[in-house]
């Protein structure tokens, strides 16, 4: 199997120096280009032979919503919002002794400002990730060989454009603007776009990035009482569950035909993407804005980092691990991916609900409400 150093550029997944070395090189640029040489695939087989994908396509056509219909006239007092969201804001610091830490002397005003910046940063990464999904899904329309998948992916392109629109509007009109893309997230998106294999685009975007987005949206939706954001997230979550289900359904069929070596490459990609997504949760830009040395705070975070301590990290792996199990990646190749997830302490999440099942439950719930 490929080594950690080959996959992620470091032998130790918790190497803080290596993590800190990943930075944006074009943070002030307006345009970011990624070269790709993927083939645009035409298919002359127009028979819709995949019922599960057809069902998602029909559901997507009737589930479109208009961003302008959200109550954008809602007044948003961000300080009051973060104060009300104490469960979310406390995160890893809720039960921690802060004596001797860089935040030991912070006042209530400092914490309020930090929570506001955290919300700005988090929503900014949602927005950037949604643009990544927009570009990747457009690429899937070109590269996937099945007509059912092309039909569905075309509806997702519209979904992703709408998601970028609503997050950008919320950040610019209700908060204080947005942060640049996190370098670990940009690195992952770049790798996904640059890979010419259509199923790797599925894996990276539909399973990994969209899986984290679904988890993060669900957590934020659960804790926030801000009505505009809550409604926005509810709409986006319904789309995202369908998107990840699309990835799971498509890849289950395709992976059944791959060789052991090809499955190994997908396992390695899944692990690499999981580590990149975990690293993306570290908010270096926020800490620097708050006047805290990024190296000091990162080392502190890794000392206390345990599964379940950081709710966003727990949410990340509660989606990734069961979806990898659903795809048969967890135990293929003598259980290599299981061992890797065990090493980083997240294997217990294999028993969480996979997104295909989650979407079926969400679909049933929506039908009952209607």
Residue 312 clears pLDDT 50, i.e. is over it: yes
Q: Band of the pLDDT at 308, cuts 50, 70, 90?
A: very low
Residue 334 in 3-state DSSP? helix
Q: Cα separation of 40 and 37, whole Å?
A: 9
Q: Considering Cα of 7, then 269, then 27, then 121, what sign does the dihedral take?
A: negative
Residue 367 confidence (pLDDT): 52
Q: Which residues have C-beta within 8 Å of that of residue 29, sequence separation ≥ 6?
A: none
CB 242 within 8 A of CB 160: no
The rounded Cα 222 to chain-centroid distance in angstroms is 17
Q: Cα separation of 319 and 321, whole Å?
A: 6
CB atoms within 10 A of CB 361: 11
Q: Cα separation of 104 and 305, whole Å?
A: 18
Residue 307 confidence (pLDDT): 44
For residues 62 and 27, the model is more confident at: 62
Residue 364 clears pLDDT 70, i.e. is over it: no
Residue 369 confidence (pLDDT): 46
Residue 305 clears pLDDT 60, i.e. is over it: no
pTM: 0.87
Residue 290 confidence (pLDDT): 93
The residue extents of the domains of the chain are 106-369
CB 313 within 8 A of CB 95: no
Residue 344 confidence (pLDDT): 81
Q: Band of the pLDDT at 309, cuts 50, 70, 90?
A: very low
Q: Cα separation of 222 and 148, whole Å?
A: 34
CB 136 within 8 A of CB 191: no
Q: Cα separation of 82 and 345, whole Å?
A: 30
pLDDT digits (tens, 9 = 90+) for 129-143: 999 999 999 999 999
Q: Cα dist. 326→1, 351, 352 in Å? A: 22, 11, 11
**Mean pLDDT of all residues belonging to the chain:** 85
Please, what is the end-to-end C-alpha distance for the chain in angstroms? 49
CB atoms within 10 A of CB 294: 16
CB atoms within 10 A of CB 338: 20
250-156-234 Cα angle (round to 5)? 105
Residue 44 clears pLDDT 80, i.e. is over it: yes
Residue 93 confidence (pLDDT): 64
| DSSP secondary structure string for all residues of 67-110 | GGGS-TT----HHHHHHHTHHHHHGGGTT---TTSTTTT--HHH
Residue 365 clears pLDDT 80, i.e. is over it: no
CATH code of the region 106-369 = 1.20.1260.10
| Residue percentage of the chain with pLDDT more than 70 | 87
Q: Which residues have C-beta within 8 Å of that of residue 357, sequence separation ≥ 6?
A: none
Residue 224 clears pLDDT 70, i.e. is over it: yes
DSSP 348: G
| Residue percentage of the chain with pLDDT more than 90 | 45
Q: Band of the pLDDT at 37, cuts 50, 70, 90?
A: confident
Q: Band of the pLDDT at 315, cuts 50, 70, 90?
A: low
For residues 164 and 368, the model is more confident at: 164
């Amino acid at each position: 199997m490929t080594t950690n150093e080959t996959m992620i550029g470091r032998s130790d997944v918790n190497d803080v120096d290596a993590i800190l070395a990943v930075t944006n090189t074009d943070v002030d640029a307006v345009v970011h280009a990624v070269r790709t040489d993927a083939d645009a695939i035409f298919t002359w087989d127009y028979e819709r032979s995949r019922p599960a994908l057809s069902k998602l396509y029909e559901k997507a056509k009737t589930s479109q919503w208009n961003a302008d219909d959200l109550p954008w006239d809602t007044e948003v007092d961000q300080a009051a919002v973060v104060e009300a969201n104490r469960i979310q804001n406390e995160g890893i610091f809720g039960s921690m002794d802060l004596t001797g830490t860089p935040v030991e002397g912070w006042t209530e005003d400092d914490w309020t400002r930090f929570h506001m910046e955290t919300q700005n940063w988090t929503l900014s990464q949602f927005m950037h990730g949604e643009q990544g999904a927009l570009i990747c899904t457009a690429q899937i329309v070109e590269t996937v060989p099945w007509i059912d998948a092309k039909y569905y992916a075309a509806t997702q392109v519209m979904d992703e454009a709408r998601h970028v629109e609503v997050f950008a509007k919320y950040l610019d009109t209700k908060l204080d603007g947005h942060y640049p893309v996190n370098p670990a997230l940009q690195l992952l998106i770049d790798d996904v776009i640059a890979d010419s294999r259509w199923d790797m685009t599925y894996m990276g975007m539909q399973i990994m990035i969209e899986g984290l987005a679904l988890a993060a949206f669900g957590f934020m939706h659960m804790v926030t009482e801000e009505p505009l954001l809550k409604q926005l997230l509810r709409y986006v979550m319904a789309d995202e569950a369908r998107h990840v289900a699309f990835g799971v359904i498509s890849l289950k069929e395709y992976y059944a035909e791959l060789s052991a070596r090809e499955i190994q490459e997908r396992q390695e990609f899944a692990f690499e993407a999981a580590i990149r997504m975990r690293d993306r949760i570290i908010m270096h830009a926020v800490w620097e804005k708050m006047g805290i040395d990024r190296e000091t705070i990162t080392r502190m975070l890794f000392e206390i980092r345990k599964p379940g301590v950081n709710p966003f990290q727990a949410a990340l792996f509660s989606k990734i691990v069961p979806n990898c199990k659903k795809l048969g990646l967890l135990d293929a190749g003598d259980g290599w991916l299981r061992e890797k997830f065990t090493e980083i302490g997240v294997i217990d999440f294999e028993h969480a609900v996979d997104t295909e099942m989650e979407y079926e439950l969400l679909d049933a719930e929506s039908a009952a409400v209607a």
